[in-house]
Structure formats: structure tokens, C-alpha cells
Chains A and B, each alone.
Chain A
Amino acid sequence: MIDIRSVSHALHGQTILSDISVQLPKGKVTALVGPNGAGKSTLLSLIARLQPLQKGTIEVDGLDVTQTPSKQLAKTLAILTQSNQLASRLTVADLVAFGRFPHHQGRPTVEDNKLVDEAIESLELTSIRHRFIDEISGGQRQKAFVAMAYAQDTDYLLLDEPLNNLDMKSARTLMQRLGSLSAQSSKTIVVVLHEINYAALYADWIVGLKDGRLVANGETKYFLTNETIEQVFDMQADIHDVGEHRFVMHYR
């Protein structure tokens, strides 16, 4: 479980998050949704100790993120951030292999190499594994970074808009993969999504943020109502039941 208690955050005098308290269930896929500038990325980076926590506490699997040694946290949680502009040149395989660093500290074992290969195969990067990441497309690069987080093989996986730049098939494959990771390996996955229907289909739990406040929070089927969508996104959309899933018709 990720336990967030009274977390507030401000940057240059502007409030980014105000008094967020929420518990993200263990072993489930949680979608973090909300309009641009709602504070989703900031919340994710605070959970992953990428920024210092200003107010409140965050515990991941009982570990206080401000107190626990970073080395230990790196074996518990992995984060994929949004901007992955690199100054350095690595091949896809080398980049993914760095995902294993927290486990081997520079001395990879056979097991580590196996997991790297698995991550590369799983994201369908085998044919470009020896290409440099600055010479492949944006979508392929995005997949390489996802594979790196995947190779880190932590119980908690945080992904900030992982579907950026991905084509339809890759996006669906990735969401299916995340779903099976939580269902079969009981990993806890928190993913920032902009397309609410991916959340509708693949998330067990949805958290809605708006202007740095927690607006709605609940199991997927309870979250997807006209009222909640309007509360979070400030827009009206019809909601249809398609098979056993809910579908938000927000395109028009």
C-alpha cells in the first residue's frame, strides 16, 4: 500500500498540492487522472522521493520515503518520469540493463541479464536492442524507458504518462502488460493517464486530482459517473456500458 497523509507542496510560492491524503491499494492498478496542472506528476515524484517532501508523510509498503535509504527504496519502487531527454548515448540494451543496478550495484549476475532480456522481449524491443536511443523514434524510446523500469522488477511501479508517443497497439499491449503484472505478480502499479477509457478498462482504482486537491477517489466502476467526471475534468460526457466495462464518450 502507498499511504499518503496530508501532503502539501508549493513551488515558487504557488501551491501545487494541498493537503492530499489517500491510500493506494496494494497489488492493484491505480490510475491517477485529472486536468493539466492538477499536480499528478508532482504527487508521483514525491512518492518516488525525486523531490523533497515539504509537508505530510508518504509511506510505500510501510517504508517512509524520506527516512528509508534510497538504495533500499530503489529495490521497492521504480518510477518512469515524463521527460526523458538524455545527454548521453546508450544502446537500448544498455539502458534497460541499468534498471538492474539497484540489485547488483555494478556486478550483474546471470539472473540480472536474464531479467534484462525478458524486459526487452516483453516490450518488443529485441530487433532494436543494439541501436542507440537517440537514433530511434519517440515511441520506441518511451518503450525502452518502460522496459528499464520493468527490469528494475520492484513491487511498486509508478509510471507518468507511459502511453505518450505510443501507437494504439503498443499502448494496448503496455496496458495489458501492466494489468497482468498486478494480477499475476501482485505488483502495485500507479499510472498517470490522460485517456480516461484506459483507466476504465485496466485500472482497479482511480484517483482524481484537480488544482492540487483530491477531488474523487474510488473503485473504477464507482468513479466513472457523470458527476465525478464533471467534478474532475470540468466537462460533461456520456457514460455507456459496453459489455462489463464502462466507457466515457468524451470525444464529442
Chain B
Amino acid sequence: MIKGWIFALAILGLGIVSSLFVGAIDLDAGRFLQTGEGLNLLLVSRIPRTLAVLLTGASLAVAGIIMQMIVSNRFVEPMTAGSGSTAALGLLLITFLMPQASIFLKMIAACVFSLLGTMVFLAMVRRLPAHQPLLVPLVGIAYGGVVSALVTFIAFQTDLLQYLQTWFNGEFSGILQGRYELLWLTGILMIVAYLVADQFAILGLGRNVSINLGLNYHQIVRLGLVIVSLISAVTVVTVGVIPFVGLVVPNIVSRWLGDNLRKTLPVTAMMGAGLVLLSDLIGRIVRHPFEIPAATIFGFVGAALFLWLLYFPPRRPSTAESQQEKSA
């Protein structure tokens, strides 16, 4: 386990360093260390961008696992199940009704709509038969699709289509100092999620077990809803929709380490951050000096990883090994 942590941190560290020195403008690490040349570029663009990528990746993965625990279903994630597209709806409406609204006001609108949208999804899912788990993601995709279509229609009617491109296709090239700081909110939300990680894990065991263990079921579901919607809304407002992070990352971690969130939530967050960072880096490199959106790259990377995991699952720790670990 400790080796795993060192490995993961090393990869993440390598990614962060690369992220600081890859981009349209050349920034030579050697020269920077000697003369300090390019400090401005780092502070204004590269560091904010790297932080934004890390916060987005980590929080989307965390939002994914929480939503999966709330509906007791492994196949949903906020961006495809309506939380993301309803956030975009809120954003669109406020942009149309109050073009001069501040970014803060826009975020509030996105949050409110995302919260309502996620509640509607939850209400729909509650009515589905429990023995048909695949209905849940299907309903989610259909619901998200309907909302997205509505958003596109309104945007078309109001001549705001060009905005949709930036909201629906998450990417980080526009991130500069002063334009990503809202994302720190997701950091706070992740800490809150970690503090009650046990209760989210129990939620995943179903309503009966939750009540039996004395959990305030509705209260913890509501807390989860708020965390999921706020993370979705903040990400859509600042970087746009990045689908599948919330689906792929929690499933990989779950197959590998299980769902004891107290232990696995940090791994989930780190893996989400690492994979989105990798996607963003690839997107910056392949057509240098132009960029491909991280969301597009992630769709590819995430799907490939997921397939690999399904067909070549990592070796399970054997009983003997675990006992060694315990005695060590």
C-alpha cells in the first residue's frame, strides 16, 4: 500500500512538473532555475492551469463516487446524469437574462439549477425497480440528453450558441490567474466529503443497512446531493463539462481497492487529478502549439483504461500477502 502511494505521488509529481513547462510558449526549466526567466508566465498561466486541472480532476472523481453511493449504482456520474447539463442551463439563462452578471452570480445560478436538476434525477431513479440496475444510467443519459437539447435550443433561439462550445467541451486553455479561483470551492467540498466518508460508504450499502446503523439517511443524501451539484456547477462554470471522469475513476479504484471510502477516497481524488492532468498534457502536446480539449482526450484515455481494467484486472492481494501486511 505504501509503495502504491509513493508510486502514485511520483507519477502525479512528474505530471505537475511537466504541466508547468509544456505549452504554446516555450519555458526552459534549466534557464528558469538559473535566471528566473518566465516566472511571470508560470504565475499567471501555468500554475493556475495546473491547479485547475488537479482540482477539476480530483473533484469530478469524488463527485462521481458520491453520486454512485447515493443511488447505489455503479454506472452513473454527474456529468452524464444531468447535473452538468442543468448547470449549463442555469448558466445560459442567466447569461441571456442578465448579460452583465458577474462570474459569482453566474456560478450561483449554475449551482441552483444543478441542485434542482440532480434532485429531479434522484426522484426519477427512486421510482425505478431496484432489480434493474441498468435502467439508472439509461434514465440518466436520456435525462441529460433532454436537458442538453433544451439548452441547445434556447441557445440557438437567443444567439448564444458560441457559449455552449466552451461549456460543453471542458478544456483548460482559457485558465489564467483570476479565472479559476472558484475551483478552490471544490477543494473544500472534497474535504467535507472526506470527513463523512464513512457515512457515504454506508449509504452505498443501501437504505436498510443505513437506517439499521442509525444513519440520518435523508440528511446524508442531501449533503451528498449538495456536494455533487456544487462540484458539477463550479466545474462547468470554470472549465466546462468533462464527462466520464466521475464514472471511470471510481470504478477503477473500486475494482482495485474496494469501496471503503475512508481509505479509497484520497486514491480516487488523486487518480482523477492524475488522469485529467495526463489528458490535458497530451492535448497540449499532440498538435503543439495548438490544443485539443482535455475532455476529448479523456474520453479516449478513460475508455481505454476502463477496458483494460475490465479485461485484465490487477492481481488481487492474496490472503497470505494481506496477513504479511498486517503483521508488518
Contacts and interface: CB of A to CB of B under 8 A. Distances in A.
Interface of A: 45, 48-50, 69-75, 78-79, 81, 86-91, 94-95, 98-99, 101-102, 106, 127-128, 130-132, 135, 152
Nearest to B319: A130
30 contacts: A45-B208, A48-B212, A50-B211, A69-B214, A70-B214, A70-B215, A74-B214, A79-B208, A81-B212, A87-B68, A87-B72, A87-B133, A87-B204, A87-B206, A88-B204, A89-B254, A89-B258, A89-B259, A91-B260, A94-B258, A94-B260, A101-B213, A102-B213, A102-B214, A106-B196, A130-B317, A130-B322, A132-B258, A132-B316, A152-B213
B208 A50 contact: yes
Contact of B259 (A90, A101, A152): A90
Interface of B: 68-69, 72-74, 133, 196, 198-199, 201-202, 204-209, 211-216, 254-255, 258-260, 262, 316-317, 319, 322-323
Contact of A127 (B74, B199, B259, B319): B319
Contacts of A99: 213
Query: Which of A48, A69, A101 is packed against the most chain B CB atoms within 10 Å?
Result: A101
A186 to B, nearest CB: 22
B69 A101 contact: no
Given A88-B69, A88-B204, A49 B258 contact: no
Nearest to B131: A85
A131 to B, nearest CB: 7
A227 B209 CA distance: 38
A81 B319 contact: no
B202 A98 contact: yes
Contacts of B73: 87
A101 B69 CA distance: 17
A87 B74 contact: yes
Contacts of B254: 88-89
A90 B260 contact: yes
Contact of A131 (B206, B207, B319): B319
B72 A89 contact: no
Nearest to A105: B198
Given A75-B214, A81-B212, A89-B258, 7 more contacts: A48-B211, A78-B212, A91-B258, A99-B213, A101-B198, A101-B213, A130-B323
B79 to A, nearest CB: 19
Contacts of A72: 214
A49 to B, nearest CB: 6
A45 B209 CA distance: 11
Contact of A101 (B214, B255, B260): B214
Contacts of A131: 319
A74 B213 contact: yes
A90 B212 contact: no
Contact of B205 (A75, A86, A91, A102): A86
Contacts of B208: 45, 50, 79, 81
Nearest to A72: B214
B201 A88 contact: yes
A50 B204 contact: no
A132 B317 CA distance: 11
Contacts of B206: 86-87
